[in-house]
Structure 1
C-alpha cells in the first residue's frame, strides 16, 4: 500500500514545521539584521553569511551582499532575500548547514555527527531543487551522487566517499535525483516507496529490530515537530492496539486506559503501514539492507503475542488515521476532506 497520505495535514506549514521553522527563523534573522541599530550593511551581510553558510565570505561576495542590503533599505531592485540567496550559493550551505539540520532526523540518538547518507542527501536535493517538500514523505525519489563507488543497498560507502571528497552538493552534476524503484538503487516496488522513510538510512535506524513503531514516532517527531507525549489522546478507540501491549500494566488497567491508550490508539493503526518492511542484516547492521515483502506481515508485528492474546492481530498493511478526530484534529490540522 502506498504510504502517500500517512502524514497529510491541510495546512502545509503544519505539514513540514521543521522546514517552515527554519524559514521563519531566517526571516526573523533578516528582520533583526535589517533593524539592528549598531550594525551597518556590511556587518549585517557578514552575519547573514556566517549563519547561513557557516563560513566567512570572500570579500567580493561580501561586497555584493552589502550592495543588495543597501538597495533593500532604499526600496531598490534587490531585497534582503536576494542577499541571503548569495550566501546560500556557497557549497557549505548544503554540505554543512542543511546536513546539520537533517542529520539528527536519521538516527534514534539524534546524533548530528553521523556521516552523509541517502536520507540526508535526499533532503538536501529536494531543498536545492526547490521541489514540493511534501515529496519527502511519499514520493519515489532519492538523491544519489555521481561519484564512485556507486550506490549500494547494503552499504553507506557511496555517501561517505561523496562527503570525504568534499564535493559541492549544491551542484546537479554532483548530486542527482533518481527513483528508489530503480533496481540499480534500492529496487523497491514503486507502490512501496515513501520518500525518506524508505531510504536505507531510515530503515537502518527505524526498521531495525523492534516493532516498526519507531518509524512512525521519529517521522512525526522530526516532520511534524511533536513527540508522542504531546499527541496523547485517550479518547480514541483501542481496538487496533497490538497484542504486545499489556492491558493491565503492573496489574492496574487504569494505567492502560489513562496512559498507554493515549499513544498506541493512534500510533498502532498508523504503524500498520510498515507491516511489510524489515531491515535485514547478518552480524553487522552497517551491511544490512531494507527489505519489502508485498503481502507478508513481518514477524515483529506479532512478537509478545501472549501479553494480551485478544489484542489486534495485524493482517496486512492497511493503515488508518484515528487522530482525524479528537484533540489532534486541530493540533495537527488534518485535512479530513481528502481522506
Structure 2
C-alpha cells in the first residue's frame, strides 16, 4: 500500500519524468494527505522537465508522418507546449493565429520560414521551455495573413510533414489521427454523397466500380470536402538540391494570386491526375463542408453553434476542435501518457468521461487534465 509520499513520488515521476527533491515530495505529500491532489500535481508540473521532457515527448510524434518521438523541437511542438503552459483554450491549437518562439534574451537564430535553426538551437542549448517560450503570432513571424492561420496546421513543421508533395489530404488525415484519435477507417461512411470527390480518385479502381462505392467513397466522400479548406496551401522546396525539404517553406496563395496550372488561387496539386475521372469534382476555391454532420459520424459530437461549412483552414480547424471527439481524444492521450497504459476497464472509461467533462467546463485547459490523470494513477 502506498502512502502519501509514495503517491507524491509517482505523481512527480509521471508528470515530470525526473525524481523530486525531498522538500518537493514533502510539500506534495502534505497536499495529498489533505485530499488536494490537484495542488500536488501542479507542484510537479512546475518542474521545467514537465515542459522539456514530458510535453515534448507527448507532442513530438504529432509533427511527422513516422510518429517519431525523437524528432527535433520545432514550431509545432513549441506552440502546443506554449498553449498548455499559458492555460489557453486548447481548442485554439487548430485555428488560432499563434506561434511560440524563444524569447529575445536567448540570442538565438531568428525564426525562419525556410529552416528550423531557431528551435534546433533551443534544443541544443537545453533551453528551459517553461521560462523562455514567448507567445507571438504566425502573421507577425511568417507574414501569413491572419485569416489564413490555423494554429499548428499552418506551422512550418506541419507544412513540411503534411503539405509536402501529395494532395494535401495527408494534412487532414494526420489531423484526424493526432487530434481526434481516429484514422480515416474509423470515420468511413459509404452513405455520404460522393459529389465532392476529386477527379484524381478513380471510380472503377482495377476496373471494378464496386470497390469505389463500397470502399473508397467511405473516406473520400467526407474527407475531400473538408480537405478543400487547404486548397491554397503548399510546401515548396527544391527537390533536386533538397529532396527532404529541409530548406522549404509553407506557401499560401493570397487573394489576387493565381497558380499557373489552375489559373485560380487553388494549388495545382488539387487538379493532378484529372483524367482518372474527368467528371469528378474540380476544386475552384477553399470552401469546405462537413458531410459527417449527418449519418454515422454524428457521434463525433459536432458543435451545433457552428455552421458546419466555411472557407479556409481556420474555420475548418475550429470545426474539428469544437467537436466532442476532440475533447475526448486529448483526455485519452493524456491518460495514456501519464498512466503509461491504455484505458482497460469500466473504471478507466468512467474516469476519462469525468475528466472530459471537467476539461470542457474548465475552459479546455490542459494542465488540469494532466493533474487529473496523475491523481487517478498515483497508486493506492
Decide: shared fold, TM above 0.5. Answer: yes
Provide the secondary structure at the position in 1 that maps to 2:250.
Answer: strand
> Which residue, 70, 75, 80 being the options, matches 2:37?
80
**Which whole-Å CA distance do the structure 1 matches of 2:302 and 2:290 have between them?**
10
What is the TM-score normalised by the length of structure 1? 0.84
Aligned match of 1:52:
15
**Which whole-Å CA distance do the structure 2 matches of 1:87 and 1:110 have between them?**
27
**Which whole-Å CA distance do the structure 2 matches of 1:63 and 1:39 have between them?**
15
**Which whole-Å CA distance do the structure 2 matches of 1:42 and 1:336 have between them?**
46
* CA offsets 1:202-223 (integer angstroms, 9 cap, x no match): 0000000000001111111111
Aligned match of 2:153:
197
Q: Is the 8 A contact 1:240 1:268 kept in 2?
A: yes
Which stretches in structure 2 are left out of the alignment for 5+ residues?
256-264, 308-380
> Which residue, 100, 111, 121 being the options, matches 1:151?
111
Shift of residue 59, structure 1, vs aligned partner: 1.4
Q: How does 1:188-337 map onto structure 2 within 5 Å?
A: 188-282=144-238, 283-284=241-242, 285-295=245-255, 296-330=265-299, 332-337=300-305
Q: Is the 8 A contact 1:324 1:336 kept in 2?
A: no
Q: Is the 8 A contact 1:180 1:190 kept in 2?
A: yes
**Which whole-Å CA distance do the structure 1 matches of 2:196 and 2:94 have between them?**
24
Note if 1:118 corresponds to 2:79.
Answer: no
1 or 2, which has the higher helix percentage?
Answer: 2
Aligned match of 1:338:
306
How many residues get paired? 291
Aligned match of 1:13:
none
Stretches (4+) displaced over 4 A: none
Aligned match of 2:60:
103
**Which whole-Å CA distance do the structure 2 matches of 1:107 and 1:308 have between them?**
31
Note if 1:131 corresponds to 2:88.
Answer: yes
Aligned match of 1:167:
127
Shift of residue 323, structure 1, vs aligned partner: 0.6
**Which whole-Å CA distance do the structure 2 matches of 1:66 and 1:97 have between them?**
21
> Which residue, 172, 177, 181 being the options, matches 2:139?
181
What is the TM-score normalised by the length of structure 2? 0.75
Shift of residue 290, structure 1, vs aligned partner: 0.4
Aligned match of 2:358:
none
Shift of residue 278, structure 1, vs aligned partner: 0.6
**Which whole-Å CA distance do the structure 1 matches of 2:123 and 2:32 have between them?**
33
Provide the secondary structure at the position in 1 that maps to 2:134.
Answer: strand
**Which whole-Å CA distance do the structure 2 matches of 1:206 and 1:306 have between them?**
24
**Which whole-Å CA distance do the structure 1 matches of 2:297 and 2:125 have between them?**
45
Shift of residue 337, structure 1, vs aligned partner: 4.2
Provide the secondary structure at the position in 1 that maps to 2:276.
Answer: coil
Shift of residue 294, structure 1, vs aligned partner: 2.1
Is the alpha carbon distance of 1:83 and 1:337 closer, same or farther for their aligned partners in structure 2, counting shifts above 3 Å?
A: closer
> Which residue, 34, 41, 47 being the options, matches 1:90?
47
* CA offsets 1:108-128 (integer angstroms, 9 cap, x no match): 011111010000000000000
Q: Is the 8 A contact 1:118 1:201 kept in 2?
A: yes
